[in-house]
Amino acid sequence: MHVVFVEPAFPFNQREFVRALSRAGAFVTGIGERPVEFLDDELKSWMGAYEQVPSVVNIPALDDAVRRVQARGWVDRLECSVEAHILPVAKVREARGIPGTSVRTAFLCRDKPAMKEVLRAADVPCAMSTGAESREEVLAFVREVGYPVILKPRDAAGAAGTFRCANDEELERAIVEAGVDRGMPTAVEEFIEGHEGFYDTLSLDGEVVHEFVSHYYPNVLEGMRERWISPQIIATNRVDAASYDEVKALGRKVITELGIGTSATHMEWFYGPKGLKFSEIGCRPPGVGAWDLYCNGNDMDLYLEWAHLIVHGKPHQRPSRRFSAGMINLRPDRDGTIAGYANVDELQHDWGEHIIDSKFPAPGTPTQPVSAGYMANAWVRMKHPDFDTLHAMLDKVGERVKVFAR
């Protein structure tokens, strides 16, 4: 099988998808933005060919590259795994007659108001929402729904560019910062109170083959705003418990209604006073190294499993559910440069056997802002057979390990 993979080199973990495709027996052609001589020998060894383009989201340039590849031989699949690449790749895929995620599905998984309009029509429980391109449209929605509301880009990923507004003053500030007063399109949503988590799958022809459930502590919007918080993500090994049946049923229905076929998916959800609510879904793997947590918690190579579904059309491994696996982000006490750490040796002494890996940037390294995400600055990833024990361990890491900047 000949698989064309878009952007094999950046971000760094993209190479894992190329490795997996090669190991699964595919002939891999990479399309990326870096000159081939800038790629390392290991990455190049997994690819049989490579095409450079100025930008992988430039549809004419990407289309020309795929045409060149097709002129040399048959292409079975055109794949990518980064949110911003999904829709451009789908448009080229459809134009070149290559099977895979359709333009309709890719669009619905990128455009939040359109996505929720389709799902509400299918009786999927969602927050009230709309698309807006003016202050007047935003205000009309708020008059109908009331505060608090969320403003975010129609094609947002994670908490990027997201604002929670609890009053007129906060709303006006968000309207200006989001550019809505200048005609920038935005999604406006009812704020849903409750615990936030995500449901990830590998699906084959629309059927879920593998599924994973993770939790945020605290919810993303709060975790990405407050320096004093050391936010966590924990992937549970209790996926087969009855308490997750409703989440899994919701995810399967969303996958069906949006027409997702053979693909990774990443679905955010909330559970609170109004029950279980769908938030959003992407037809791609999750970010922030979540697949690495699934691999470590389940004694499997999920990248290889993804590749087997594409290349061979069937699963290759089963998750062991042996461990829950989680990560905690450790923020510097201020912006500047890393000055040092406290209690890192204690961390290794007390819980070394449970540590998957960690990152502690060297002193002198410039800090990244709080909003940079879960893998900015310092972090630790751990696993344990018991979910609650792991959560308590990560809490203690957040309390004890300190990151100092100057």
pLDDT at 156: 61
Domain around 133: 128-190
**Is 373 found in the same domain as 394?**
yes
pLDDT at 160: 63
Residues 221-275 have pLDDT tens digits of: 889 888 999 999 999 999 999 999 999 999 999 999 999 999 999 999 999 999 9
**Is 325 found in the same domain as 207?**
yes
- Residue 106 forms part of a structural domain: no
**Sheet with 195-204: strands ordered across:** 275-282, 263-272, 195-204, 207-217, 232-235, 324-330, 378-384, 355-359
- Residue 113 forms part of a structural domain: no
Point out the residues of the chain with pLDDT beneath 70.
Answer: 155-160
Domain limit, last residue, from 63, 80, 100? 100
- Residue 288 forms part of a structural domain: yes
d(CA 277, CA 56): 34
**Is 169 found in the same domain as 257?**
no
Domain limit, last residue, from 57, 85, 100? 100
Note whether 300 and 319 are within 8 A (CB).
Answer: yes
Query: What CATH code is carried by the domain that includes residue 82?
Result: 3.40.50.20
- Residue 183 forms part of a structural domain: yes
This prediction has a pTM of 0.92
Residues 283-340 have pLDDT tens digits of: 999 999 999 999 999 999 999 999 999 999 999 999 999 999 999 999 999 999 999 9
**Is 375 found in the same domain as 267?**
yes
**Is 324 found in the same domain as 216?**
yes
**Phi-psi group of 321: left, alpha or beta (phi > 0 → left; psi -120 to 50 → alpha; rest → beta):** left
- Residue 258 forms part of a structural domain: yes
**Is 249 found in the same domain as 368?**
yes
- Residue 362 forms part of a structural domain: yes
Backbone angles phi, psi at 95, to 5 degrees: -65, -35
**Is 68 found in the same domain as 32?**
yes
Helices 14-23 & 302-312 angle (0-180, nearest 10): 50
3-state helix, strand, coil split of the chain in percent (to 5) is 40, 25, 35
pLDDT at 112: 86
Query: What CATH code is carried by the domain that includes residue 351?
Result: 3.30.470.20
pLDDT at 208: 98
Q: How many domains does the chain have?
A: 3
**Is 21 found in the same domain as 147?**
no
